Structure 1
Amino acid sequence: MTYPSLRAVLCASVLFPLSVAPVLAQDALRVGLAANITSLDPQFHVVGSNSALARNVFDGLVNQDDRQQLVAGLASVWKPVDDTTWEFKLRSGVRFHDGSPMEAEDIAASLRRVPTVRNSPSSFLPYVRPISAVEVVDAQTIRIRTTEPYPLLPNALSRIAILPRSLERAETADFNSGKAMIGTGPFRFASYTPGDRLELEAAVPGEGAWRRVTFRFIPTNASRVAALLSNDVDVIEGVPTTDIAKLRSDGKITLSSVASNRVMYLHLDHEREQSPFVRGRNGEAIPNALRDPRVRQALSLALDRRAIVARVMDGEGTPAGQLVPEGYFGFVPGLAAPAFDAAGARRLLAEAGLPNGFQMTLHATNDRYPNDDKVAQVLAQLWTRVGIQTKVEAQPGNIFFARASNREYSVIMGGAAAETGEASSVLRPLLATFNPEKGDGSGNRGRYSNPEFDRLLAEALRTVDDRKREALLRQATELAIKDNGVIPIFFLANSWASRPGFNYRPRTDGWTLAINATR
């Protein structure tokens, strides 16, 4: 699977309509979610749990299918008019849940609202920052201009929920109360109990996949599995890897999984001459060993990625040698996960003048990713075996991410997802030289910087030709991975489990959408 060319996108826009064909509504669906949300406002916080839940109620101008390929959303077709102008033709006859017609002015108002959303922990602004002007040509046509060539505009806009123009000035609190929960999606708002559940109902009574949908927030793995086994819910997401074998042998439970777009990776301190958690063999202060490319390569070779996936993740994952999985635009054929080579790691450490190794601390979350604490402990053991005495400090995400962003650590383990379905969505935040004014390196907590990488990435982001852009992204990827700007470990798997009579069609982005559940 590859990123579609413009012609393929236009074809896809015809082949994949916005919603499923009308069928008689079925009984209620009950879903157990693995994470809570921070708000019902679909433009408030770029975080997977919020975005997935919102997409049950709201649509984008462009949508992504189950494999993150661009398909028709509220726009039926789109095309570049010139290097800095895109034209979108809207679907006719679409109405918001309040009965108002969806028109081009609603698109413009939705885009204008994004920069005004207050107190966002992670804003949607980067997706619309390149936009310089929005022109409403007529009720069904809108043109969007960018400050420079921006071929990924449709991908970026697939992340923006479209609201009625009457909600342009709506506050986040208006969504949380349900007052502003007005979209064009297959389900409309019914009720919301923070920390407990969200109730939705079919937007058009008698049509759609389900008459009523209940999303329950059950972040504890054991409780989520227990809810499924006791028939309190029909489908759960985020199946714990430790329960996969048991559920598979049950005979009644249906499991569905797919390789995800989320890679687990390591950030290393590239910038500081002395790093706070890198010490000599006996605990003495030493120059930052992580700045030596031989040490970074040794850290990578010391990781037995296949064993980590097989034993820690119970097979639910894929060893990673780059930041996007196969099938994504920008994936580099042949750039495989490095083979485990403990002897090679020791040799590189000796070449770097560290034959006796050194000490360091790995910081990680213990509640954000599947088995994150366990994976961190195994990484520490593998490094210790080659002479890098490593201890682990695992913390709740609300503590870890704030301190990691403040660059209080030397080595951290994190996860990143290609949310736009192509490589630049992870290359730019993780590896571009940190530049808040340009929006580059927003997640570059190791402060990796390579001018040639920056040049290739910048050229790719303004190259309209798909083949040329993909070639540039591949060059940038190969350069940064060879340099171990970050160290990929493995791709997570997204998994769902359903009780008898129910099935879930998996998505690479991990989103749980009610329209993907059937019986």
Structure 2
Amino acid sequence: MTTRPRLRTALGLFLLAPLAAVPALAQDSTLRVGLGANITSLDPHFHVIGSNSALARNMFDGLVNQDDRQQLVAGLASAWRAVDDTTWEFALRPDARFHNGAPVEAEDVAASLRRVPNVRNSPSSFLPFVRAIAAVEVVDARTLRIRTREPFPLLPNSLSRIAILPRTLEQAETADFNSGKAMIGTGPYRFAAYTPGDRVEMEAAQPGQSGATWAKVSFRFLPNNPGRVAALLANDVDVIENVPTTDVERLRKDSRVQLASIASNRVMYLHLDHEREQSPFVRGRDGAAIPNALRDARVRQALSLAIDRRALVARVMDGEGTAAGQLVPEGYFGHVPGLAAPAADLNAARRLLGEAGLPNGFQLTLHAPNDRYPNDEKVAQVLAQMWTRAGIPTKVEAQPGNIYFTRASNREYSLIMGGAAAETGEASSVLRPLLASFNAERGDGSGNRGRYSNPEFDRLLGEALRTVDDAKREALLRQATELAIRENGVIPVLFFANSWATRPGFTYRPRTDGWTLAINATR
């Protein structure tokens, strides 16, 4: 994979990123986009999930944004600096306006940061991105200082994930966003309409301030792979994301289509029930209840060794991906050199089961989404076959994402499939939500649906998040990764490739985070 520049933090120096020139707006132009996954809400603070975040980014900005390679660039802040180890100062753009015409001021930022921990019923909270903040000081309308409880060099990276709203929306409920009432942002496009399960319509924001290149944009939810491709070939949409891997070669030869792809930051992984003494979908070979076998490290290792990751990538993903042995790909800050995906070894898997007192194996059910990730249900079915061959008869129950993720967050399952992306461009953004000991108050383990918990992992991660020196912080992240992977806190399976297809005359500039943004599409 392509090596990316490291993310650096220089204390006492302004970090400046020039604003992109505003492209000309074609007033009569409409862009029609076919998305590969539905959303759970329009509320940009409700759910840390890629489909929500990508759609929201078309309508909302952060203080800091990320470019196509997840490097930090100016958002609503034109400059930022670390005043000292625990104080950051942000200077707001004087031209920044909300879609209702109101200027963006420091108090709006402060109110947005206060809102994040108070969003109710979040399946996966944005709290980890703001947890380090101890106080926000409004210096003047264009300047604010953010104080952290301890040194936190990744504050600008974390704030790139937080949408800024008008202060009047601090108490807004998620339902207010879904109705459109609270959809006031600063992004290139303003909200126009939302039909749940069908589409979101947007319009260009005020000319001269938004960077919008299309007068109107229609984002349609087309999770069915054949249907999404058919919509493109029938000219019903201009761009589709998540090109089905089975169609890549065929579409590459089709003159009606242009493809764009890039290595992804998203990993498909498995969460296992580490906590409960009895787990609802772990059963003996005769179907009787047994103690939770997933709590045994030998069983978890057996499950991992039974997976032929390279065969999955080659045969199920049609080569569009990479076998994963950790949670961030090569080139990302915190990646562990040499920590490769383990080779499949059925004999070793069976031996470990015997050592765990389960020579005849046990029954298991894998729960997975069927409309969230490329080939998600197919991958689940092949995983079940691999485990069955190792002596663990496995059933698959696949569900639409809007049902699946809610039930998975409620911990109704024993073994689940998920996907996670290095959303801040470095390893802590996946280590903390997936593997830190669950603590709702602190926001740790917000996506830790298996309740893995190891005090030494927590110590290493916590120290990394406080360490300003890049080399020392990366060493700590690597140690934490090696510990969690050795224990199979989660089981990484594969890294995706991000791909888009467009009609003739349209092009799409790909992003490592897989987000589909209207500003990346041109004609």
Name the TM-score, length of structure 1 as normaliser: 0.91
Q: Partners in 1 of 2:472 and 2:154 — Cα distance?
A: 14
Distance 1:460 1:251, change over 3 A: same
Residue 16 of structure 2 corresponds to residue 13 of structure 1 = yes
Letter of the 1:479 counterpart: L
2:351 alignment partner, SS class: helix
CA distance in structure 2 between the aligned counterparts of 1:340 and 1:196, rounded to whole angstroms: 41
Q: Is the 8 A contact 2:19 2:74 kept in 1?
A: yes
In structure 2, C-alpha distance between the alignment counterparts of 1:361 and 1:122, rounded to whole Å? 23
State the TM-score, normalizing by the size of structure 2.
0.91
Partner of 2:326: 322
Residue 442 (structure 2) aligned to one of 435, 438, 444: 438
Q: d(CA) in 2 for partners of 1:177 and 1:389?
A: 45
The answer (yes or no) to whether the contact 2:32–2:238 under 8 Å persists in 1 is: yes
Gaps of 5+ in 2: none
- The residue number in structure 1 matching 2:508 is 504
| Matches of 1:167 and 1:468, distance apart in 2 | 40
Give the match for residue 226 of structure 1: 230
Q: Which amino acid aligns with 2:147?
A: R
Matches within 5 A, 1:280-429: 280-283=284-287, 285-429=289-433
Q: In the TM superposition, what is the alpha-carbon distance from 1:371 to its structure 2 partner?
A: 1.9
Equivalence for 2:141? 139
5 Å-filtered alignment, 1:75-94, equals 75-94=77-96
Gaps of 5+ in 1: none
Quote how far apart the aligned CAs of 1:8 are: 11
2: distance between equivalents of 1:88 and 1:105?
12
Displacement of 1:399 in angstroms is: 4.0
Separation of aligned partners in 2, 1:302 and 1:159: 36
1:272 to 1:102, Cα distance in 2 relative to 1, 3 A: closer
Q: Kindly provide the amino acid, as one letter, of the partner of residue 375 in structure 2.
A: N
Q: SS of the residue aligned with 2:499?
A: strand
- Asked if residue 458 in structure 1 is aligned to residue 468 in structure 2, the reply is no
Q: Is the 8 A contact 2:87 2:145 kept in 1?
A: yes
Q: Is the 8 A contact 1:269 1:275 kept in 2?
A: yes
352-361 vs 488-497, which deviates more?
352-361
CA 1:105 to 1:315, structure 2 compared with 1: closer, same or farther past 3 Å? same
CA distance in 1, matches of 2:12, 2:341: 31
1:171-224 superposed Cα distances (whole Å, 9 cap, x missing partner):
545544545433322223344444433333332448742233222232332322
Which residue of structure 1 aligns with residue 7 of structure 2?
4
**How far 1:125 sits from its partner (Å)?**
3.2
Alpha carbons of structure 1 residues 281 and 211: separation in structure 2 relative to 1, 3 Å: closer
How far did 1:384 drift?
A: 1.8
My pick for the range that moved more, 40-49 or 308-317, is 40-49
- Give the Cα–Cα distance (whole angstroms) in 1 for the partners of residues 476 and 200 of structure 2: 43
Judged with a 3 Å threshold, the aligned counterparts in structure 2 of structure 1 residues 489 and 95 are, in CA distance, closer, same or farther, namely: same
Note the C-alpha offset of 1:169: 4.2
Deviation for aligned residue 1:306:
0.8
Question: Measured at CA, do residues 366 and 177 of structure 1 come closer, stay the same or move farther in structure 2, by a change above 3 Å?
Answer: closer
| Aligned sequence identity (%) | 80
Q: How does 1:44-123 map to 2 (within 5 A)?
A: 44-123=46-125
**AA partner of residue 442 (structure 1):** S
Q: 1:30 aligns to what?
A: 32
After TM superposition, give the deviation of residue 460 of structure 1 in Å: 1.1
Q: Residues 20, 47 of structure 1: CA spacing in aligned structure 2 closer, same or farther, 3 A cutoff? A: farther
Letter in 2 for 1:374: K
Partner Cα separation in structure 2 for residue 146 and residue 40 of structure 1: 29
- The letter for the 2-side match of 1:25 is A
Q: Call closer, same or farther: CA 1:172–1:452 in 2, change over 3 Å.
A: closer
Q: Give, in whole Å, the separation in 2 of the partners of 1:32 and 1:152.
A: 34
CA distance in 1, matches of 2:171, 2:268: 38
Contact 1:209 1:518 in 2 (8 A): yes
C-alpha spacing 1:283/1:44, structure 2 compared with 1 (3 Å): closer
Q: CA deviation at 1:54?
A: 1.8
CA shift, 1:404, in A, is 3.1
Aligned length in residues: 517
**Among 229, 237, 242, the residue aligned to 1:238:** 242
Amino acid across the alignment from 2:26: A
Report the 3-state secondary structure (helix = DSSP H, G, I; strand = E; otherwise coil) of the residue aligned with 1:420: coil
Alignment-mate amino acid for residue 463 of structure 2: E
Distance 1:9 1:256, change over 3 A: farther
> Could you tell me which amino acid in structure 2 is paired with residue 22 of structure 1?
P
User: Cα–Cα, structure 1 residues 140 and 517, in superposed 2: closer, same or farther, change >3 Å?
Assistant: same
* Contact 1:62/1:73 (8 A) holds in 2: yes
Instruction: Give 1:259's aligned residue.
Output: 263
Q: Structure 1 residues 28 and 300, CA, compared in 2 at 3 Å: closer, same or farther?
A: same
The partner residue of 2:495 within 482, 491, 500 is: 491
Separation in 1 of the partners of 2:163 and 2:395? 43
